[in-house]
A and B are shown apart, each in its own frame.
Chain A
Amino acid sequence: MATYTYTPVPDQGAKAGVLAYLVISCVVLLLMMLFGLLMRMEQAQMISIGALWFYKIMTLHGAGMVGIVALAGAAIMWHFLRQYVDLSTGIFMANLILFLTGVVMILASVLLGDFHAAWTFLFPLPGNSMGMWTPGAAALFMGGLLVIGVGFVLLHLDIARAIISRYGGLGRGLGWPQLFGPDDGNAPPPAVVASTMVTIVNLVGLVVGASILVMMLVNLYVPTFEIDPLLAKGMIYFFGHVFINAVIYMAVIAVYEILPRYTQRPWKSNKVFLASWTASTIMVMFIFPHHLLMDYAYPKWFLITGHIIGYLNTFPILIVTGYGAMMIVYRSGIRWDMCSRLLFVSLFGWAVGAMPAFIDGTITVNYVMHNTLWVPGHFHTYLLLGMVAMVFGFMYYLGKPNENAPDSALDVAAFWGFVIGTLGFTMSFLYSGKISAPRRYAEHLPEWVPYDKIASYFAMLLIASVLVFIFRFLTRLGLASRDYQRASLARSMAT
């Protein structure tokens, strides 16, 4: 029998390692946002950096953003998961060191070696540069990705070990005994269920990604070691899709853990919740064909699978996690502060971003919208207004001086600047996709330029808001490591 009584959980400060992850995330995220702004301004003809620098920045922006949101997501996951299972701080820090090593390799490859084959390193472009970069630069870039991937494999292996040790298996971590048997109310908490899902999909994704990276590294120096481009593309997009999706499923743990503290209502791992996470585990791994719909050489059933799962994947997001957040906040008496605002709006960002995403996964739509700016339109919506909002919400949670501390007018203005800036920025992308502007173009035709200008102005507003978020977090680092009550208690009807 389900109960709806909330058991208060003390707020814990972050370990030094988590803070190191977050500080690095702030710096890299801001830098990558500025790179993104430069690209939009170049397309808007507001600046002139040239095609070579555009594509070098584009390569850094893609690799940097994917890597840094993964790092920030891992920080959130590790912070909360360690409150339930025994995680290794050494492995957590090893991942950070490997990450930074990989970042240095990627920066050297692009800035010194002129590598600019995009973060997707689509075979055979890295080894076929028309003299624009050397095999050494390509090897450095792919080696950097490989080193970062090894770090995450170590982290996930440690998480898998800890969950198996505490709960007796990954299936138990997903709550399968309660899902497929009677719900005895002892299913693992949402943070553990989500971490189990992310660990399963990321381990599979990273092994596939590492495999194709090693194959391509061999091919760089031994061209007779041939690779099928269709197989390579499938492997790259399997890895890429799983890895970038996993970051949202890591970061949403902040919502599961923090919103109940604000509303004094429990977020239960009931059967519907467990079913949705098991379904997401499968769907995140099998939805990737929606990236390959214009590769007619794949079997038709394979491509139709991507189309179908694209529709099905919206259900757990909308009906379970999104709806769950609405349920817990509705008539809760929640006190809105920067943390609760950002976490609440993050579910909105995730859900609205999923709409143009599944529409693009419709084969007949993809036929005329694939690789247009519609694509960055949808993923910037759910990553920026979804995942990144979760990260900043977590940062405001850690740095809140006390449970009753009011927000300054500047922070509140930055929140609205972030929401309006992101929506304006991403809707400009989507509209440009509607009028068929291709993505990854250093120069735009005159018909597309007005929307690039609009996007640039909204991006400036967004970045100005993020500067406030980052400044506030960095000035409150001292508070972030301490254990004290942060989350404001909800208003009672009696008060």
Chain B
Amino acid sequence: MQETAWQVSLVLMLMIAFGVVFVAINSGKREEEYGPLVKRAYSFRTKLFWAVALVFFPAMIYNLTGLPYSSKAVASSGPAEVINVTGHMWYWEMDRDQVEPNQPVDIRVTSADVNHGFGIYDPDLRLIAQTQAMPGYTNVIHITFPREGTYRVLCMEYCGVAHHNMMTEIKVGKS
């Protein structure tokens, strides 16, 4: 997902850069009659609007599939294992830290004091899931760990002077 976000961003940013450079290069020689130029530009803008709309609207709808708020994606694989997590300044309290790979897991996250962010990093240090740990609320991450290994948990919401040290681990499989 991160790779896709990066590449899509780069492409869009480069397209804008191309347009800006094109205009800058073509800015030196003056076309005195602005009216006809405006008409051509408005006509092109209408086409541009529809081009952007035809890309953005389907992308916007498509990206509403697979939202992390529901457990439907993993429900078919059987009953979920549960990890109860409470964030504290500045440590994580978890009632278990080992699960099996390819098994659905519900991670129920809350906080005992201030806001924290429960971020799960895979063995390659890539963020694969997160939710807010907020006092008074329990947010549930529905996840199936795809492979064995040690997954790191980092705090994703600034919570004070030791925020960056608020780390723990979830072991998946026998590792």
Interface residues of A (CB under 8 A from B): 2-4, 6, 51-52, 55, 116-118, 120, 122-125, 128-130, 132, 228-230, 233, 265-266, 294-297, 300, 303-304, 307-308, 311, 314-315, 318-319, 322-323, 326-327, 329-334, 336, 344-345, 347-348, 351-352, 355-356, 359-360, 362-365, 367-372, 374, 430-431, 433-436, 438, 440-443, 445, 447, 490-493
Contacts and interface: CB of A to CB of B under 8 A. Distances in A.
Contacts of A438: 119, 154-156, 164
B68 A300 contact: no
B157 A122 contact: yes
Given A297-B134, A297-B137, A364-B68, A333 B29 contact: yes
A493 B45 contact: no
Contacts of B64: 304, 307, 363
Contacts of B6: 430-431, 434
Contacts of B130: 294, 367-368, 370-371
A436 B2 contact: yes
Contacts of A347: 20
11 contacts: A55-B160, A122-B115, A125-B115, A125-B160, A229-B134, A344-B20, A371-B117, A440-B158, A442-B163, A491-B29, A492-B32
Contacts of B9: 355-356, 359, 430
Contacts of A492: 30, 32
Nearest to B38: A4
Nearest to A6: B34
A492 B32 CA distance: 7
Given A117-B160, A331-B27, A359 B5 contact: yes
A297 B108 CA distance: 12
A385 to B, nearest CB: 11
Interface of B: 1-3, 5-6, 8-9, 12-13, 16-17, 19-20, 23-24, 26-32, 34-35, 37-38, 41, 45, 48-49, 52-53, 56-57, 59-60, 63-64, 66-69, 89, 113-115, 117, 119, 121, 125-132, 134-137, 139-140, 154-165
Contact of B127 (A52, A368, A491): A368
A229 B115 CA distance: 8
Nearest to A381: B13
A314 B17 CA distance: 16
B27 A330 contact: yes
Contacts of A319: 45, 48-49, 52
8 closest pairs, A vs B, by CB?
A333-B30, A436-B127, A331-B31, A441-B164, A296-B139, A355-B12, A4-B34, A440-B158
Given A295-B137, A296-B131, A436-B126, 19 more contacts: A116-B161, A296-B139, A297-B139, A303-B69, A318-B52, A326-B19, A327-B37, A344-B20, A348-B17, A355-B13, A359-B9, A367-B1, A368-B128, A371-B117, A372-B156, A374-B5, A438-B164, A492-B30, A493-B32
Most B C-beta atoms less than 10 A away, residue of A124, A315, A443:
A124
A143 B140 CA distance: 36
A392 B137 CA distance: 45
Nearest to B155: A438
